[in-house]
Copies of this chain bind each other. A is one copy, B any other.
C-alpha cells in the first residue's frame, strides 16, 4: 500500500480555466464580477470550481489590491473577561456590515504581538483593533503607514496620534475611584494587586490608585502596597499571600480584576479572615458573578460591549469611507459599583431580617 499517493497540489485559477475551457480572466470574473459573465459560462465555471474544489489564494488575491472582509483584533489575553465582552461588542457591530472578526492574542508578549500583527497584515485584514503590550506603539504606527488602519485600545498618548483612532476606558479614573472609595471607608493602608506594571492597563491602574491616595492627603509610600501577579484567580491567591505577610498589614485589597478578587476571596475564606470587616476587597470589570458571590464584590463597571462596538464602528468607517473619516479618540467612563465586599453595611441585621 504505497500511501505516498499524489500529493494533490493546490488547485489554481489556471487549472479551473483549463478544465472549464475558458481563460483565467473569465474565471476571475466569475469570482469577482459575475454580472459580466454569460449565465451559461457562469454556471459551467462555477460547476468546475466546485468540482475541483477550488479555493482562491487570498495572498495573491490581496496582493493586487482587493482585501478580505475580515477585521482583526489583538488582545493581551484570550482568557480575560475584558476581551470576551469587547469581542462580542465588535462582533455585533461587524455583523451589521457583514464583516467577520478574527481574534488573536499576544499573550502579553511583544514578540508574539509583532507576529500577530504581521500575520493579520499578511492576511489582508481590513483593519485591526489592538490592545498594545507596551507604551511604544511604533509597530502599530508602521502597520498604519503600511496601509492597515489600526485602532488602539488605550489613552491617546502624549504624542500626536493624528493618524489613527483609539478607544479607551479611563482606567486611571476607574482605579482612582476604587482607591478613593476605600479611603473614604477609612482604610489607610491599601494593597493593589497589579498586572505587569509595564503593560498599559497595569500602568494606568497604578497611576490612578496613587493619584487618588495623594489627593486624599495620604502618602503612597506607606499607604499603598503594590503587588504584582498573573491576573487570574490563582494569581490572586498568590498575591494575597504576599499581602498578608506585610507588616503592618493592609486592610483593603484593590484587585486588578474580578478573577483576581475571586482568588483573594478564596484565600481569605480559607484562612477565616472575614470580608469586609477584617479585609476589604474590590475587583475590577464588574463581571456577572460579582453580585452573586458569597460576599457581593465591589467592582468597576466598564462599558466593554460599547467599547468594542465603537471600535468596530471606527474601523468600518475608516475602511469603507476613508475620505469622510476623521480620526477620533473615543473615551468611555467607568463606573464604581459598591457592594458588600468593601462596605460593612449592617450585614447581620440585613441577613437576619
Q: Which A residues are within 8 Å of any B CB, using their own CB?
A: 3-4, 8, 10, 53, 55-63, 68-70, 78-79, 84-85, 87-88, 91, 95, 100-105, 107, 112, 115-116, 118-119, 121-124, 142, 145-147, 232-233, 259, 262, 265-266, 269, 287-289, 291-294, 323
Instruction: Say whether A262 contacts B78, CB under 8 Å.
Output: no
In contact, A122 and B87 (Cβ under 8 angstroms) = no
Tell me the bound Cα distance from A124 to B95 in angstroms.
Answer: 23
Please name the 8 residue pairs, one residue from A and one from B, whose CB atoms are nearest each other, closest first.
A58-B122, A289-B289, A123-B123, A103-B103, A79-B84, A78-B87, A53-B146, A233-B288
CB pair A88 B79 closer than 8 Å:
yes
- A287: which B residues are within 8 A, CB to CB? 289
A-B contact pairs, 29 of them (CB 8 A): A4-B323, A10-B146, A53-B142, A55-B121, A55-B122, A55-B146, A57-B122, A57-B124, A57-B146, A59-B59, A59-B62, A59-B63, A59-B122, A63-B63, A68-B119, A70-B119, A70-B123, A78-B84, A78-B87, A78-B88, A78-B101, A79-B84, A95-B112, A100-B119, A102-B104, A262-B289, A266-B291, A269-B292, A287-B289
Once the chains bind, are A68 and B123 in contact (CB under 8 Å)? yes
Q: Looking at the assembled complex, report how far the CB atom of A239 sits from the nearest CB atom of chain B, in whole angstroms.
A: 15
Minimum CB–CB distance from A231 to chain B (whole Å) comes to 12
Say how far A253's CB is from chain B's closest CB, in angstroms. 15
Q: Which residue of B lies closest to A146 (CB)?
A: B53
Q: A57-B122, A58-B124, A91-B105 are in contact. List 14 more A-B contacts (CB 8 A).
A: A53-B145, A55-B118, A56-B122, A58-B123, A60-B63, A68-B119, A78-B91, A91-B107, A100-B104, A100-B112, A100-B119, A262-B288, A292-B294, A293-B294
Q: Are B121 and A58 in contact (CB under 8 A)?
A: yes
Q: Which of B60, B61, B293 is in CB contact (< 8 Å) with A292?
A: B293
- List, in ascending order, chain B residues with CB within 8 A of A232's CB: 288
Residues in B neighbouring A119, C-beta threshold 8 A = 68-70, 100, 102
The distance in angstroms between the C-alpha atoms of A142 and B4, with both chains bound, is 20
Q: Beyond A91-B105, A119-B100, is A124–B292 a contact (Cβ under 8 Å)?
A: no
Whose C-beta in chain B lies nearest to the C-beta of A107?
B91
**Are A265 and B288 also in contact (CB < 8 A) when A107-B91, A119-B70 are?**
no
Contacts of A288 in B (CB 8 A): 232-233, 259, 262
Q: What B residues does A124 contact at CB under 8 A?
A: 57-59, 123
> Please, how many angstroms separate the alpha-carbon atoms of A147 and B57 in the complex?
11
Known contacts A62-B59, A101-B105, A266-B292; is-contact A122 B79 (Cβ 8 Å): no
A287-B85 Cα distance, complex, nearest whole Å: 17
Among B10, B84, B292, contact of A147 (Cβ-Cβ < 8 Å): B10
Question: A272 CA to B262 CA in the complex, in Å?
Answer: 25
Neighbouring B residues of A3 by C-beta, 8 Å? 323
- Which residues from B are CB-within-8-Å of A116? 100
